[in-house]
C-alpha cells in the first residue's frame, strides 16, 4: 500500500508534470472508482492544473478550484505516460480504472491490481468534504508535530501502539509498512499499550517516527513514479522481511499474522528476545 512517503513523492512528481498544463479528458474506465457525481468528471476538462497537494495518503489535484482527489488504497497506483495511447480505453477486467489526458498528449492512468477494488476518486470544490480527509489526524512531518503533541495523542489510547500508529484519525499517513519500521527504529514492541509509554519512550518514538519518514521521503524524492514501489521496498529494514536477519543485531525477523495483514519485528531489538504470540498461526497448528 502506498503510504505517506510514496504519496508525497507522487505529489512532488505530479507538481512538476501537471502544474500549468490543461486537462482535456478524464475518462472513467471502472465506474466503481468514482465516489462522487456532482460536480461531474467533465468539470475538470478544459481547466489548467494550479497545484497538487497531499492530505495523509490522499492526492489532491487542483484544477482552478475543481479538485480531483484520489486514495490509492492497498493495490492502487498512478502510472505516468509521456504519450497516452490513442483512442478511448474500454471497460474490462484489466487494472485500468481512470485516465487523465493533458493537452500536451501526456497524462496518467490510475490502476488497481487484484479483486478487492478500493481505489477511490472524488471530484469536489472542497477537499474537506471527502470523508477520509475530514477525519485525518495531524501530519507527522508538519512543523508543529512535536514530542508534546505525540504524547497528547497517545495519552488516552488503550490499544497497542502498532494499531494507534496506523489510525489515520490519530496520525495521518502511516500504514502497515512504516509503522513496523518506526517501531523497529524505536526498539519498541508493536504490542505495547500506547498510553503506557513513558516520557523517555515517547521521546524515542518521536525521534524514530520523524527519522524514518524523513529518510523515506528523501529517498523517494526525484524518483520516477514507476520506480517508487521498488524504492520503498528496498529501503525497508523489517517489514516484508520475515526470516531474514535483522540489519541491526542479526536476529531473525519474525512475523505476526492477522486476518488481512501481518506485522514484522525483531525479537532482540524490540521484545527482549521473546517472540510475540501469533494467534493465527497457533490456531493453524492445533
Q: What is the CATH number of the domain that holds 121?
A: 3.20.190.10
- Tallying the residues shown for the chain, one arrives at 286
The CATH number of residue 253's host domain is 1.10.8.50
Whether residue 279 is contained in a domain is answered as no
Residue 277: the pLDDT is: 86
Residue 261: the pLDDT is: 84
Q: Are residues 71 and 117 in the same domain?
A: yes
Residue 285: the pLDDT is: 33
Q: Considering 129, 157, 172, which residue would you say is the last residue of a domain?
A: 129
Here the cell at position 262 is 501481518
Residue 282: the pLDDT is: 43
The pairing of strands 96-102 and 107-112 is antiparallel
Mean pLDDT value across residues 261-282: 87
Q: How many domains does one find in the chain?
A: 2
CB 194 within 8 A of CB 154: yes
Q: Are residues 13 and 96 in the same domain?
A: yes
Chain-wide mean pLDDT for the chain? 93
Whether residue 94 is contained in a domain is answered as yes
Q: 43-55: per-residue pLDDT in tens?
A: 999 999 999 999 9
pTM: 0.92
For the beta sheet containing 66-71, the strands, ordered from the edge strand earlier in sequence to the opposite edge, are 51-55, 58-63, 66-71, 120-124
Mean pLDDT value across residues 148-166: 96
Q: 216-225: per-residue pLDDT in tens?
A: 999 888 777 7
Q: Are residues 256 and 158 in the same domain?
A: yes
Mean pLDDT value across residues 266-277: 96
Whether residue 81 is contained in a domain is answered as yes
Residue 188: the pLDDT is: 98
Beta-bridge mates of residue 101: 25, 107
Confidence of residue 279 (pLDDT cuts 50, 70, 90): low
Residue 284: the pLDDT is: 36
Q: Assign 248 to helix, strand or coil.
A: coil
Residue 280: the pLDDT is: 56
Q: Are residues 112 and 166 in the same domain?
A: no
Q: Considering 75, 97, 129, which residue would you say is the last residue of a domain?
A: 129
Q: CA 254 to CA 266: how far, in whole Å?
A: 6
Q: Are residues 120 and 174 in the same domain?
A: no
Range of the domain at 195: 147-265
Q: Are residues 191 and 260 in the same domain?
A: yes
Q: Are residues 30 and 114 in the same domain?
A: yes
Q: Considering 75, 101, 129, which residue would you say is the last residue of a domain?
A: 129
Amino acid at each position: 500500500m502506498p503510504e505517506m512517503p510514496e504519496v508525497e513523492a507522487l505529489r512532488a512528481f505530479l507538481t512538476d508534470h501537471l502544474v500549468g498544463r490543461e486537462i482535456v479528458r478524464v475518462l472513467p474506465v471502472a465506474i466503481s472508482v468514482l465516489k462522487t457525481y456532482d460536480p461531474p468528471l467533465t468539470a475538470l476538462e478544459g481547466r489548467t492544473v494550479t497545484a497538487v497537494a497531499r492530505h495523509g495518503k490522499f492526492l489532491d489535484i487542483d484544477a482552478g478550484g475543481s479538485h480531483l482527489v484520489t486514495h490509492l488504497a492497498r493495490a492502487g497506483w498512478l502510472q505516468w505516460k509521456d504519450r497516452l495511447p490513442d483512442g478511448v480505453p474500454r471497460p474490462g477486467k484489466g487494472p485500468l480504472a481512470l485516465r487523465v489526458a493533458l493537452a500536451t498528449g501526456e497524462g496518467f492512468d490510475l490502476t488497481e491490481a487484484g479483486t478487492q477494488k478500493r481505489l477511490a476518486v472524488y471530484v469536489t470544490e472542497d477537499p474537506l468534504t471527502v470523508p477520509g480527509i475530514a477525519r485525518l489526524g495531524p501530519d507527522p512531518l508538519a512543523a508543529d508535530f512535536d514530542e508534546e503533541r505525540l504524547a497528547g495523542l497517545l495519552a488516552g489510547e488503550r490499544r497497542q501502539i502498532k494499531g494507534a500508529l496506523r489510525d489515520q484519525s490519530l496520525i495521518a499517513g502511516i500504514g502497515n509498512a512504516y509503522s513496523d519500521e518506526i517501531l523497529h527504529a524505536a526498539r519498541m514492541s508493536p504490542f505495547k499499550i500506547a498510553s503506557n509509554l513513558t516520557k523517555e519512550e515517547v521521546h524515542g518514538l518521536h525521534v524514530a517516527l520523524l527519522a524514518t519518514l524523513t529518510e523515506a521521503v528523501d529517498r523517494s524524492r526525484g524518483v520516477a513514479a514507476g520506480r517508487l514501489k521498488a524504492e520503498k521496498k528496498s529501503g525497508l529494514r523489517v517489514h516484508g522481511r520475515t526470516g531474514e536477519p535483522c540489519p541491526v543485531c542479526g536476529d531473525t525477523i519474525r512475523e505476526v499474522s492477522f486476518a488481512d495483514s501481518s506485522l514484522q519485528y525483531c525479537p532482540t531489538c524490540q521484545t527482549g528476545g521473546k517472540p510475540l504470540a501469533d494467534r493465527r498461526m497457533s490456531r493453524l497448528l492445533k
